[in-house]
Structure 1
Amino acid sequence: MKKFALLSSLLLAGAALAATPKDTLVVQQSSDTPTIDPGATYDTGSGMIVENIYETLLTYKGSSLRELEPLLATKWAISNAGKTYTFDLRKNVKFHSGNTMTCRDAEYTFERNLVTNSAESGNWFLSESLLGTSSNAGDDKSITWAKIDKAVECNSNGQLVFTLPKVDPAFLAKLAFVGQSVVDSKYAIGLGEWKGTEADWKNWIGKDLQGSKLSAAPSGTGAYKLVRKDANAILMQAFDGYWGKKPAIKNVVIQKVPELAARQQAFLRGDADIVEPGSRANVEEQLKGKPGVVVVDDLANVNSTAIFMNENIKDAGRLGSGKLDGRGIPANFFSDVNVRRGFSYAFNYAQYIKDVQNGKGKQRTMLLPDSFPGYSTKVKTYTYDPKKAADYFKRAWGGNVWKNGFTLNVAYRAGSVAAQTAMEILKKNVEGLNPKFRVNIQAKEWSAMLNDSKAGKEPMILLAWAPDYADADNFLYTFYSSNGYYFPRSNWKDAQVDKWLEQARSTPNQAERNRLYALVGQRAYEQAPFILIPGGVNLNVVRDNLVGASAKTYNPMTSFFGTGTFFKDLSKK
């Protein structure tokens, strides 16, 4: 016990160990962790922790993107013409609190997610499936407690039953999303969370769970339990009561190390087993070929990344003068399509591929991984063209953009080399067009950037999207729909695009969906609401004594950036 206490103190302090112990995994990343509450988890930083503390009903099988297998469920059946799902749950599963998991815990979990659902959580697509709307009861008065209660119930056999208003082919995949992990209802209620009854449900409608009591003190069924957490590190320990195979790694430490050079040096010394390594260029220049280093390359990239241009900026403090006088921008600066096209032509896509992806990247036509059904190669793309960029800026706002200039404040995630490089490329090229153009770039804490961007405060940011479930709708609706998750970041709306997207999600015919998605992509090209960042080829970097982090085991639907698998499946030799 004394040894463990000493180890936890050293690791949480970021002390050098020369080499991490065989029973300990040390991971270093640039960002913080916004939450450990599954109901609020909707970013990869939080997901990496939550998916190892909690568990879902089912999960992806091996490296497959489409094949699912039981986890907390043991089997399921589909009936009622595809609208009823009945799950048998695993027996003798313990939560970290010591409580035994029952069907009531699963029922409580999904009802809690429906009650607290907001656009800032991953529960909107669960609500779409079970209630027929992405909204919560505060925004949609047709949602009643009776409706929520009926959507998910435990039957007399202790089985969990979901009843959908209409068929949703993606429903099972949605249940594999980390945010739908089963929580300990008795424990949560004891902390002061929602009581799980009609009596107090209205007080929890749309409630922000990011800083909940459950986030501070989680109790899941996962292979690891939380031991300590502070602003710079998280320590997890293998759960002795875990129902599954006992993990070989006993201790997991996640350290926040914003500086790339510091992470790389710790990795090369053996102080860290896995690090957020920076861009492909950083890996190949600084890490590849060094003693003790294994680069796992040619991995699937199912993320989409874009630079957002917010058409309705809701923070006067980011606007400078708030006018087109060279010292700021108006709140609706990006509402002029000529501004957006000017920025799109000012980004050097080929340079980004060369500098960040070391030539191993591809410019995409739409904000959808090219491996997904619905991706169209026929949609047009922007190229770096200073002359066209200048032409569009000269047209923007009746010529006042070119005449008066502007000052634009841009944020990127602190510690992200790729995001910083993208913004520096854009800054250099835009400022090179006109001496009156100025772009100020600023590193910003991940959680602060997420919160400010969802409030519409960021004028321009770079954000990526990792899939919640393997379907084109999860990307295209998210980015392009005025009802999508990312809408508050861009405030771009096109009625025809909204119509096409709604049609695509309601038809089972894949060919028709593909046609509609191609129309969406082409309209987005014409309207330029985003600057599309080229998609790279993924790679991971791990120490050579780590077992289980290979291309064969890698699954891009698992949020963990270092292995594409769960901590419990790793070991050291």
Structure 2
Amino acid sequence: MKKLGFITTLLLIGGVASAATPKDTLVIQESADIPTLDPGVTYDTASGQFTENIYETLWTYKGSSLRAFDPLLASAIPTYTNSGKTLVVSLRKGVKFHSGNAFTCADAEYSFRRNLVTNSAESGNWFLSESLLGTSSNAKDDPSVTFAKITAAVKCNAQGQLVFTLPQADPAFLAKLAFTGQSIVDMKWAVQQGEWNGTEATWKDWVGKDLTGGALDKKPSGTGAYQLVNRDANSILLKAFPSYWGAKPSIKNIIWQKVPEQATRYQAFLRGDADLIETGARANVQEQLVGKPGVAFIDNLPNTVATAFFMNENIKDSALLGSGKLDGKGVPANFFSDVNVRRAFSYSFDYAGYIKDVQQGKGKQRTMLLPDTFPGYVKSVKTYSYNPAQATAYFKRAFGGNVWKNGFSLNVNYRAGAVAAQTAMEILKKNVEALNPKFKININAKQWSQMLTDSKNGKEAMVILGWAPDYADPDNFMYTFYSSNGYYYPRSNWKDASVDKWLDQARTTVDPIARTKLYAQVAQRAYDQAPYMLVPAGIAFTILRDNIKGVSAATYNPMRSDATTGVLWKTLSKN
């Protein structure tokens, strides 16, 4: 009770800690809100860092590996049967939820069915639905989704095992189930709080329902090492769950504080009043934090984000087109449909200069829009380099020579406040305009929410977007970026029939060598057709107080929602 009293005081002093944190307490300061504590609608890293510690999935990533798993609520990692279409999961015994309810197969069955029923645009349940129902849509958008189909896809057998039945083999399915959004919720508790009761009689009332701000957001009950004590707009307090089935955590209390100002977070961190903080750009960290007393800096960590310039082949916003013609005063809506234009732009970006100046030498040019640490990545595929002569040659070929002859004026947007994106656009603008005095690129800042909406509707001519993985499988990147059925297709409108065929084959190919060969074909075709300009990937790092133990290159896993530690909080301790 004494310790809890100290924590409560700590939380109330303007949202910022006023004394060095005790040995059994972890204080985290970040700028973002925490949208939800319900795993069924968790689809952001801010929420994910809490759901992955309050709740548990069937298994999680083993150490720093992106390929191996450790069981959590499963008693062992299962193997596929029935040609990869059936997965029978034996469950851990003697596990309790924070409510005191015993964990059973019924809870797991309910959790996955709940995700398939709700499957809203705000959640990551679309890829669970793809695997189990053959569609990413919910029952409102796809009439093939029925309650009978959902119940057949996931059910408990007579032995109390959870059985998944897939319409076709999915080599990414194990990784998908490690995503924190697929955590197991407490069925009895959920129903008591007014959540879906799991029956066919009521399921249609919950189809596509946004669970953000719902009952389990306010009152979560998981099996994780930490349980919720208190939450308000600027702070969250967790404590160690005394009946946790696993090893008891050394850190007994987790305090999260919303601190929007970076300077304030830096000051608290340097005083020792915060253990982990949102740090921002590498340049700021190296200048203001690295080398200071009590600070540990871990560099050269894997980066699992892929980022690119999108060149939209069907620009649906006339305001960006100017005259709408190749007359030096605008561009046609199909400006980027000419492969020569795309290749010319690809040769106009200074990749090496970006790595040197923006990433301070801590960057890497990838061959494809897939993290180089992921299975399926192919090093041998060619890459573009800054080459004004090649850029000029392709611009002269574009649209039968009219691009070079008449020039163009292109309007592009970048996310307001994103310095790296702005700098990348400025590099491209400078290099393209230097080729021909008739070339003009106008760059403008735009609010992120509006840019996301407009790009989704095909209204951005060129935009820089990234993708962070939901699950550690190449499909999550390759299909997303390159398939005409992928998430990013409306933003680029690039389609290649062979690429679509190869990606569909890869989705059901269990043999990793065969899958990699298919992805190599996709990457080579993408190099040739240049639908994207690949932005060099930064080298990840983390920074924390040096008395925190349990974070290293050997333990850091980029698939964790807590990107600062890359581990579950239960594995941390303090000197």
**Quick check: 1:110 aligned with 2:112?**
yes
| Residue in structure 2 matched with residue 25 of structure 1 by the alignment | 26
| Residue in structure 2 matched with residue 3 of structure 1 by the alignment | 6
Measure, in 2, the Cα distance between the counterparts of 1:312 and 1:282: 39
Measure, in 2, the Cα distance between the counterparts of 1:309 and 1:255: 39
Once the two structures are superposed, what CA deviation does each residue of 1:453-512 show, in whole Å capped at 9, x if it has no partner? 556565554443333333322221122112223334434332221111112222334333
TM-fit CA distance, 1:262: 4.3
Measure, in 2, the Cα distance between the counterparts of 1:402 and 1:549: 57
Return closer, same or farther for 1:161/1:511 CA change in 2, 3 Å cut-off: closer
2:299 and 2:541 in contact (8 A); partners too: yes
2:320 and 2:410 in contact (8 A); partners too: no
TM-fit CA distance, 1:100: 3.0
Letter in 2 for 1:24: T
Once the two structures are superposed, what CA deviation does each residue of 1:345-365 show, in whole Å capped at 9, x if it has no partner? 343211221134321322111
SS at match of 1:236: strand
Q: How does 1:283-294 map to 2 (within 5 A)?
A: 283-294=285-296
| Residue in structure 2 matched with residue 53 of structure 1 by the alignment | 54
1:347 and 1:429 in contact (8 A); partners too: yes
Q: 2:444 aligns with which of 440, 443, 446?
A: 440
Measure, in 2, the Cα distance between the counterparts of 1:327 and 1:241: 69
Letter in 1 for 2:502: W
Q: 1:409 aligns with which of 390, 397, 413?
A: 413
| Residue in structure 2 matched with residue 372 of structure 1 by the alignment | 374
SS at match of 1:25: strand
Measure, in 1, the Cα distance between the counterparts of 2:423 and 2:12: 35
TM-fit CA distance, 1:438: 1.2
Letter in 2 for 1:72: L
Decide which moves more: 357-366 or 390-399. Answer: 390-399
| Residue in structure 1 matched with residue 189 of structure 2 by the alignment | 187
SS at match of 1:199: coil
Q: How does 1:403-552 map to 2 (within 5 A)?
A: 403=407, 405-411=409-415, 414=417, 418-419=420-421, 421-426=423-428, 429=431, 436-442=440-446, 444=448, 454=456, 460-552=462-554
| Residue in structure 2 matched with residue 384 of structure 1 by the alignment | 386
Measure, in 2, the Cα distance between the counterparts of 1:156 and 1:436: 69
Measure, in 2, the Cα distance between the counterparts of 1:378 and 1:109: 42
Letter in 1 for 2:136: S
Measure, in 2, the Cα distance between the counterparts of 1:378 and 1:76: 33
Q: 2:175 aligns with which of 173, 176, 195?
A: 173
TM-fit CA distance, 1:521: 1.0
Q: TM-score, normalised on structure 2?
A: 0.86
Once the two structures are superposed, what CA deviation does each residue of 1:67-116 show, in whole Å capped at 9, x if it has no partner? 21211122365444543322232334333344332222111111122223
SS at match of 1:39: helix
SS at match of 1:384: coil
1:31 and 1:258 in contact (8 A); partners too: yes
Return closer, same or farther for 1:198/1:428 CA change in 2, 3 Å cut-off: farther
Once the two structures are superposed, what CA deviation does each residue of 1:173-196 show, in whole Å capped at 9, x if it has no partner? 221111111122233334443332
TM-fit CA distance, 1:330: 7.2
Once the two structures are superposed, what CA deviation does each residue of 1:367-387 show, in whole Å capped at 9, x if it has no partner? 112233332233222223455
Q: How does 1:34-73 map to 2 (within 5 A)?
A: 34-73=35-74
TM-fit CA distance, 1:423: 4.5
**Quick check: 1:244 aligned with 2:220?**
no
What fraction of aligned residue pairs are identical, expressed as a percent? 65
Letter in 2 for 1:149: T
1:411 and 1:460 in contact (8 A); partners too: no
Letter in 2 for 1:65: L
Letter in 2 for 1:39: G
1:431 and 1:438 in contact (8 A); partners too: no
Return closer, same or farther for 1:563/1:352 CA change in 2, 3 Å cut-off: same
SS at match of 1:186: helix
Structure 2 unmatched runs, 5+: none
Return closer, same or farther for 1:330/1:287 CA change in 2, 3 Å cut-off: farther
The root-mean-square deviation of aligned C-alpha atoms, in Å, is 3.4
Measure, in 1, the Cα distance between the counterparts of 2:530 and 2:537: 18
Measure, in 2, the Cα distance between the counterparts of 1:30 and 1:388: 44
TM-fit CA distance, 1:562: 0.8
| Residue in structure 2 matched with residue 200 of structure 1 by the alignment | 202
1:25 and 1:253 in contact (8 A); partners too: yes
1:342 and 1:390 in contact (8 A); partners too: yes
1:431 and 1:439 in contact (8 A); partners too: no
TM-fit CA distance, 1:532: 1.1
Measure, in 2, the Cα distance between the counterparts of 1:273 and 1:32: 19
Decide which moves more: 169-178 or 359-368. Answer: 169-178
Once the two structures are superposed, what CA deviation does each residue of 1:422-468 show, in whole Å capped at 9, x if it has no partner? 445445555666574210124647xx766665565655544433333
Measure, in 2, the Cα distance between the counterparts of 1:429 and 1:132: 45
Return closer, same or farther for 1:487/1:402 CA change in 2, 3 Å cut-off: same
Measure, in 1, the Cα distance between the counterparts of 2:252 and 2:217: 22
Measure, in 1, the Cα distance between the counterparts of 2:398 and 2:223: 55
SS at match of 2:239: strand
Return closer, same or farther for 1:540/1:218 CA change in 2, 3 Å cut-off: same
Decide which moves more: 551-560 or 401-410. Answer: 401-410
Measure, in 2, the Cα distance between the counterparts of 1:82 and 1:371: 25
Tell me the number of residue pairs that the alignment of Structure 1 and Structure 2 aligns.
566
Measure, in 2, the Cα distance between the counterparts of 1:501 and 1:345: 27
| Residue in structure 1 matched with residue 361 of structure 2 by the alignment | 359
SS at match of 2:191: helix
Structure 1 unmatched runs, 5+: none
Return closer, same or farther for 1:26/1:485 CA change in 2, 3 Å cut-off: farther
Measure, in 2, the Cα distance between the counterparts of 1:213 and 1:454: 30
Letter in 2 for 1:238: A
Decide which moves more: 356-365 or 323-332. Answer: 323-332
Structure with higher Rg: it is 2
Return closer, same or farther for 1:138/1:269 CA change in 2, 3 Å cut-off: same
Measure, in 1, the Cα distance between the counterparts of 2:60 and 2:303: 19
Q: TM-score, normalised on structure 1?
A: 0.86
| Residue in structure 2 matched with residue 553 of structure 1 by the alignment | 555
Letter in 2 for 1:136: N
SS at match of 1:561: coil
Measure, in 1, the Cα distance between the counterparts of 2:33 and 2:333: 29
Decide which moves more: 515-524 or 246-255. Answer: 246-255
TM-fit CA distance, 1:391: 6.2
Measure, in 2, the Cα distance between the counterparts of 1:541 and 1:457: 38
Return closer, same or farther for 1:269/1:374 CA change in 2, 3 Å cut-off: same
Decide which moves more: 86-95 or 102-111. Answer: 86-95
TM-fit CA distance, 1:161: 1.6
1:114 and 1:126 in contact (8 A); partners too: yes
Decide which moves more: 354-363 or 91-100. Answer: 91-100
Measure, in 2, the Cα distance between the counterparts of 1:301 and 1:382: 21
1:249 and 1:571 in contact (8 A); partners too: yes
| Residue in structure 1 matched with residue 255 of structure 2 by the alignment | 253
Q: 2:305 aligns with which of 303, 306, 330?
A: 303
| Residue in structure 1 matched with residue 569 of structure 2 by the alignment | 567
Once the two structures are superposed, what CA deviation does each residue of 1:144-202 show, in whole Å capped at 9, x if it has no partner? 21111011112233222212233333322221111111122233334443332222323
Measure, in 2, the Cα distance between the counterparts of 1:423 and 1:352: 11
| Residue in structure 1 matched with residue 76 of structure 2 by the alignment | 75
SS at match of 2:47: helix
SS at match of 1:501: helix
Q: 2:133 aligns with which of 131, 136, 145?
A: 131
